Structure 1
Amino acid sequence: MRRKKHKLGVLTFTILSNDANKVVTRFQIPRIAVFIMCIMAIIPIVFLAYFMVTSMDQQQENERLATALNQKTSKAEDLQIRVDQMEEKTTEVEQKMAELNELESQLQEYITDLPINEEPSGGIDVPVSKADIKDGQDELILTYSQSSELIGRYKDTLAKMDEVNEELKYIPTIWPTIPDKITSDFGLRSDPINRTDSLHTGIDIRGNFGTPVYATAGGTVIKAEYYGGYGNTIMIRHSNAYQTIYGHLSEIKVEQGDKVKKGELIGSIGSTGRSTGPHLHYEIVKHGEPVDPNTYLNISDISK
């Protein structure tokens, strides 16, 4: 019985040859060794299958994570584009506001320079529709398009003011001397020397000897000499429309052909020519005809 059990614990392998003369070869292998070899052969297969399944799961997970990452990246890129657009828009609005501030400064300068007859108040009225204003807010909030439209209106206003300002340079709108007391108006009067009625083609402004006389508009000096009853005289052509005459001067500080600016010193008050005392005879000639200087005085101040 022991022998039978021993035989059952091994496997016998017989190797036969085609040659009948050769010895038959037999060898035995314990069953446990065969079992172990089978187990060892199966383990790599099991591990291979496990790793294949695990690898597929890992690949699917990686693909899922990659898809999620791409979605997050796409959202982040969209957000970055929006941020960039907002920053660009903010920069544009800041530039527009800076331009508005610059235009406002220019308007303030123009308002200061432009002649006024009334007490100072307010500024340039630029129409703003009710749609531009949000009720219940402490400040006006202008959108980009609204600010662009407002800038356009500012620029149009400035362009018109440039034209007016350029024209004003050559229109006699300031006092020719600092004393502003008129002693004889434009029009019919009794001649101060022969006491007969006569046409006074300008105005007489009281002043002391040597008081400065200024050009009332920019232009070209066409006469700077003694001129009959006017005495020492300066004539200035300002444009195709205007000329001004300054008579009875004690001193002439310009020469014929000189270019003068509005408010520039040109002479001094005196009593030369047909005069009863120191004063300035001042005339404005428009299109060849003398006009009343009072229409143009008090529009602006010589100190400006």
Structure 2
Amino acid sequence: MQLEEQTEEVEKMKQDYAILQQETKTVQQTIEEFKLFEEQISNLNLQMPRNLNSNENDGSGGIPFPELSSLEPNETSLKIIEMKEELPDLIEKFEESLKRLQEYENELKTIPTLFPATEGRLTSKYGNRKDPFNWKRTFHSGIDIAAPLNTPILAAADGKVIHAGRNGGYGLTVIIEHGDTYETLYAHLNKIDVQVGETVKKGDVIGGMGTTGRSTGVHLHYEIKRDGDRIDPYLYMTFHERANSN
């Protein structure tokens, strides 16, 4: 995937993130409307009016209520009717906002935007570079992050483990499938803490940093695939930082 396409994808993610923030505000606003609605209900005087056109000399056999058709609706009854009419729309608005919010949250959870280790520094970028073993110019399909041995490695997004074990030159490797779009790879691990078929959440520890396989030292080799194509993980790892800066 070309850099321009990746940049467009990240821009779309930023737009989705902004929509999520707006939907959150909408839900909060609707909750406040509910609170106001409840407050208005509690403040209404729901007692039966005392003056019902009765004669004070009437006996104790009962108060002669006038026919309902002759009663003028008072302010309280009108307010109740008005609020009863508003309530279904308010509930529908609230439910729609929650549904949209949940949809955006679920989508964002499967996008690998989390830094895949509890600590570390970037030592090799995505793209063409000199191979550390033979110094020939080769393509680096991910990024390298260096940190101490067994530094916890984190799932970058919600997903399902589809590989957990040795993987040729990658050494001990974990591969996670994130829905239908994304896949992440974590290589050269010293240990693996998950199994194939296991469901993981964004931020779950999946292993420890190591130097297994074709490696010159302790580090994590990290890759992201989108629709089967490898892309630059750095754009996704820095997504939240850049989204919040706008």
Q: Structure 1 length as normaliser, TM-score? A: 0.52
Q: Which of the pair has the greater relative contact order for Cα pairs under 8 Å at 6+ separation?
A: 2
The CA distance in 2 between the partners of 1:285 and 1:257, in whole Å, is: 19
CA displacement, residues 19-46 of structure 1 (integer Å, 9 cap, x when unaligned): xxxxxxxxxxxxxxxxxxxxxxxxxxxx
- The residue type equivalent to 1:289 in the other structure is D
The separation in 2 between residues aligned to 1:247 and 1:278, in whole angstroms, is: 11
How far 1:206 moved relative to its partner? Answer: 1.7
What per-residue deviation string (whole Å, max 9, x for no partner) do you get for residues 74-126 of structure 1?
Answer: 499836x5355246358x47xxxxxxxxxxxxxxxxxxxxxxxxxxxxxxxxx
In the TM superposition, 1:83-232 aligns within 5 A as 85-86=77-78, 88-89=80-81, 92=83, 145=86, 155-232=95-172
**1:193-247: CA deviation from partner (whole Å, max 9, x where unpaired):** 1111111111111211111111111222111111111111001111222111000
Q: Look up the match of 1:259.
A: 199
In the alignment, is residue 78 of structure 1 matched against residue 71 of structure 2? yes
Q: Secondary structure at the match of 1:163?
A: helix
> TM-score, normalized by length of structure 2?
0.63
Cα distance between partner residues in 2 of 1:185 and 1:148: 54
Give the number of aligned pairs. 182
| Structure 1 consecutive aligned stretches of length 4 or more whose deviation exceeds 2 Å | 72-79, 81-84, 86-90, 147-161, 298-301
Deviations along 1:274-296, one digit per CA (max 9) or x if unpaired, are 11111111100112211111121
Q: CA deviation at 1:73?
A: 5.1
What is the letter of the counterpart of residue 253 of structure 1?
A: D
Q: Please state whether the residue corresponding to 1:296 is helix, strand or coil.
A: helix
Instruction: Name the % identity.
Output: 39
Computing the radius of gyration from Cα coordinates, the structure with the larger value is 1
Q: Deviations over 1:127-173 (max 9, x none)?
A: xxxxxxxxxxxxxxxxx85x876765554443322211111222211
Distance 1:298 1:153, change over 3 A: farther
Unaligned 5+ segments in structure 1 are 1-64, 67-71, 94-143
> How far off is 1:269 after superposition?
0.7
Counterpart Cα distance in 2 of 1:295 and 1:151: 39
